[in-house]
Amino acid sequence: MTLPGHAQVVVIGGGIIGCSTAYHLARDHKADVVLLEQGKLTSGSTWHAAGLVGQLRSSASITRVLKYSVELYKGLAAETGLETGWKMTGCLRLATNQDRWTEYKRLATTARSFGMEMHLVSPEEVKRMWPLMDISDLVGASWLPTDGQASPSDITQSLAKGARMHGARILEGVRVTGFAMNGNRIASVKTDRGGIACETVVNCAGQWARQVGALAGINVPLQPVKHQYIVTEPVAGLSPDAATIRDPDRRTYFKEEVGGLVMGGYEPDPQPWVTGDVPDDWEFRLFDDDFDHFEQHMEQAIARVPALAEVGVKQMINGPESFTPDGNFILGSAPECANMYVGAGFNAFGIASGGGAGWVLAEWAMTGEAPLDLWVVDIRRFSEMHRDRQWVLERTCEAYGKHYTIAYPHEEYTSGRPRITSPLYERLKAHRAVFGSKLGWERPNWFAPAGTEVGDVPSMGRQNWFGPVGEEHAHVRGKVGVFDQSSFAKFEVTGTDAARALDWICANDVTKAPGRLTYTQLLNTRGGIEADLTVAMIAEDRFYIVTGTGFRTHDLAWIEEHLPTGDVAVRDVTEEWGVLSLMGPKARDVLTRVTEADVSNAAFAFGRVREIAINGTRVRALRITYVGELGWELHVPLAATGAVFDALMAAGTSDGIRPVGYRAIESLRLEKGYRAWSSDITPNDTPFEAGLGWAVKMRKNRDFIGRAALEAAAGRLPQKRLAGFAIDGPEAVLLGRETILRDGEPVGYLTSGGYGYTVGRGIGYGYVRHAEGVTDDFLTAGRYELVVANEVVPAEIEVKPFYDPDNRRVRA
């Protein structure tokens, strides 16, 4: 075999993801593609996958990716002549308790929001559809008629043939051994058969993706876990068109195959495989059958389908599947390398995701931008701590164990904690903080009053923290609170060309003058919002950037990749600064007592940054708020954070100062109408659609990334606009993804939801869509309702903030 000396794109891995990526690169982009497979196509995980194809996820974009897979599989055989085994059998998800039923009612609402057909059916209807099933414990089931099943190996071979038909070259028996690097770019791929120079590499190496990435210095945090299922002998009375079954309360799944059943499950005590390298020769190998471990699934399956007790087992499959620490798969551009893209860690959703994942990966690799909002699966959601193999193993096992558990709102992971703590951790524990975790940082979500449990109690209704968070919320509105926001990601951009460089990547004008603070978005070439952050101009050649905890890797990489050349440097200074946010109408009174600096409004106006002294420490004070009250973010050298906190608490005693948590921040920002990146504003949304046009420097004759797209859209009415919605009634819990009805017709869904304690109503935000354009009149002329857990609830639309702190106006 002679390798080509050069290729535009090298795809590594011949499973379903790699073959789909090669297919889309060749078909859609006419790219010069070479796919390398160390063994034979489908080896690794694809060949032994169970082949269930579901579509509904909690993200609209990921649901769109999965729906694309189904549409592709439907028509692929007609294009290639190779059958895929696709059968649209539909899927029944069973519920045996009220919490699960509530979850399904919310999922049915989500499905409607995303334009999918989903029905809630009675136990009797389940029995009619699946006569072999015992329904004695069922509350009901959800029914997705367009879900189905397919043959993983057949789909992969069909995609591979399609890729070849469009010009891709697929080479089996070629193992990647390394990369020749030119700085942070791959210049060529080294293999055991020679090298291939290339412009782009797409790492679809499945369970080997971590070690392939490591050859280029890239971290792909996945963990192989042993996953078992059985194939039974024929089951009398089983229809060949029987729906696939997911029985999450019994942690099992079923699908029909050649007259028998494929049955597997997700146990709470999974068996991880290696933390080191996966052996190269583990291509078509399986682990020994482990009936002792599988017995827990067998017992539950027989209880659900009693006929299984009389049927023989034809085969047990016990193979490794790649799982991730948060249960979402991994796509996108690796931050450590300028030209490697990754598609891996599919958490047993590889077959369902394969078609769509290949489509978006191909687009991403060829354009340098994701074609839609893929944040929940973006590799840049991870950070340096995800290089810790033991931590990844523990968290991944917890995620695997949650695969079929009830998805309670706001539920936190518990493994591998605490990982990163601020200097206030013990002080806040003494105040009875209930901590959550964000990218490893322990952060106080709320504070438990004396005599109550210090911890979350999961519930589908109002949770145990609802009342205490309301008290924290009211305290910030009426007095003053301190938030520990030390986990904020923080960067410094320096150099004589720093202002010019940031002017290019920022949509707003960040070059006003030293001492000025600017809220801005970073846009993609479509005008979509890739980041949402604050830029402080410290000096002509020094800028300080603050962004969300979870976006640290993503935002830093975006900035580094898009800064123009010149005398400009970016440095991550997150661990150098603690952050104490002092917020509330009494904030100035407290701050005056701890500093000699003039913090009056005349001397220290909103949107300014100054260095002041507190307790002998030089503090970078930012006059800004995310809660809609007078306040400052006090950025303190990390080691002095505790001393400054103590000084503030002592000085604020007469004003009733108290620590406040992140759940109060969420309710406070919802009332004020502040947007949250990754929910209300995403790469799918422009600032003008999101009501943030005021933060874009369109009137200045200066170019910036995304300007051309915004100018092209300027003459057209936007087809969607963000608006607020309020509902009455304490029982309706808004979480996001609730369908928005205008005059009885669906026009969008909530992007975020919660409760406004000041206004005393459930409130949320969402985009109202209208193909002919959304005007102010269109927004306000309609009659609105929200579909909440499948129930229609009257709603009021609001285009202004629900709460105005300037005149203490409450819009209720």
**What are the structural domains of the chain?**
6-84+150-223+326-381 (3.50.50.60), 716-812 (2.40.30.110)
Output the pLDDT for position 729.
78
Short-list 410, 440, 415, 414, CA closest to 425:
440
| Both structure tokens of 215 | 């050859």
User: Residue 649: enclosing H or E segment and its boundaries?
Assistant: helix 641-651
- Is there a contact between 546 and 533 (Cβ–Cβ < 8 Å)? yes
Structure tokens given for 722? 């963000």
CB 678 within 8 A of CB 521: no
| 410 three-state secondary structure | coil
Rounded-to-integer distance, Cα 546 and Cα 531, Å: 11
Give the containing element (helix H, strand E) for 224: strand 223-232
Element housing 557 (H / E) = helix 552-562
CA distance 413 to 499: 41
Residue 10: HSE in the Cβ half-sphere, 13 Å Cα cutoff:
30
Chain CA centroid to CA 280, Å: 31
What's the burial of 73, exposed, middle or buried (CB within 10 Å: 0-12/13-18/19+)? buried
Residue 683 sits at the vertex; the CA angle it makes with 679 and 688, to the nearest 5 degrees, is: 85
Residue type, 261: L
- Give the pLDDT confidence score for residue 812 in this predicted structure: 40
Distances (CA, A) of 372 to 183, 251, 513, 648, 786: 29, 32, 35, 44, 25
Map tokens 């609105």 to a residue: 784
Q: What is the DSSP string of 238-301?
A: --TTPPEEEEGGGTEEEEEETTEEEEEE--SS-EE--SSPPPTT-SS--PPP-HHHHHHHHHHH
Radius of gyration of the chain (CA): 27
Report the alpha-carbon distance of residue 764 to residue 747 in Å, rounded. Answer: 15
Instruction: Note the pLDDT of residue 811.
Output: 44
Instruction: Return phi, psi of residue 744, to 5°.
Output: 85, -5
- CA-nearest of 400, 349, 327 to 52 is 349
Which helix (H) or strand (E) segment holds residue 35: the answer is strand 33-37
Neighbours of 6 (CB within 10 A): 14
Two tokens, residue 548? 């969300």
629 contacts: CB under 8 Å, gap ≥ 6: 476, 477, 583, 584, 585, 587, 668, 805
CA gap 468, 451 in Å, rounded: 12
Kind of pairing between the strands at 577-583 and 631-637: antiparallel
Angle (nearest 5°) at CA 505 between 503 and 507: 75
Which amino acid is residue 292, in one-letter code? D
Q: What is the C-alpha separation between 380 and 393, in angstroms, rounded?
A: 19
Measured distance CA(667)–CA(756) in Å, rounded: 6
Separation between Cα atoms, residue 767 and residue 507, nearest integer Å: 21
Coil, helix or strand at residue 441: strand
Which pLDDT score, from 0 to 100, does residue 807 have? Answer: 53
Angle between helices 16-29 and 350-367 in degrees, nearest 10: 40
For position 716, what pLDDT does the model report?
92
Q: Are 688 and 774 in contact (CB under 8 A)?
A: no
The predicted model scores a pTM of 0.96
**How is residue 738 annotated by DSSP?**
P
Measured CA to CA, the distance from residue 766 to residue 772 in angstroms comes to 18
Q: Which tokens belong to 339?
A: 């030209």
Q: What's the pLDDT score for residue 806? A: 67
DSSP 667-732: HHHHHHT---BTTTB-TT--TTTTT-GGGS-TTSS---TTHHHHHHHTTS--SEEEEEEEE--SS-
Residue where the block lists tokens 């979350």: 456
Could you check whether the bond before residue 409 is cis, i.e. omega within 30 degrees of 0? no
Confidence at residue 216, expressed as pLDDT on a 0 to 100 scale: 97
Residue 673's nearest CA partner among 691, 660, 693, 688 is: 691
Question: What six digits make up the tokens of 196?
Answer: 């291939």
Q: Which H or E element spans position 181?
A: strand 176-182
Distance between CA atoms of 357 and 473, rounded to whole angstroms?
Answer: 41
Length of the chain: 812
Q: Would strands 33-37 and 6-12 be described as parallel, antiparallel, or unpaired?
A: parallel
Element (H, E) at 436: strand 433-438
Helices and strands counted in the chain (H then E): 18, 40
Contact between residue 776 and residue 702 where contact means Cβ atoms under 8 Å apart? no
DSSP per-residue codes, 740-806: EEETTEEEEEEEEEEEETTTTEEEEEEEEE-TT---HHHHHHS-EEEEETTEEEEEEEESS-SEETT
First to last CA, the chain: 73
Are the C-beta atoms of 313 and 232 separated by less than 8 Å? yes
Q: Which residues of 90-104 are buried (b: 16+ CB within 10 A; e: fewer)?
A: bbbbbbbeebbbbbb
Which residues of the chain fall below pLDDT 70? 1, 806-812
CB within 8 Å of 664: residues ≥ 6 apart? 446, 469, 472, 473, 476, 481, 627
Nearest Cα to 804, choosing from 751, 762, 758, 750? 758
Helix (H) or strand (E) holding 543: strand 542-547
Say which residues have a Cβ less than 8 Å from residue 123's Cβ, sequence separation at least 6.
135, 138, 139, 140, 141
On whether the CB atoms of residues 483 and 659 are closer than 8 A, the answer is: yes
Task: Compute the 3-state secondary structure of the chain and give helix, strand, coil in percent, each to the nearest 5.
Answer: 30, 30, 40
Buried b (16+ CB within 10 A) or exposed e, 693-717: eebbbeeeeeebbbbebbeebeeee
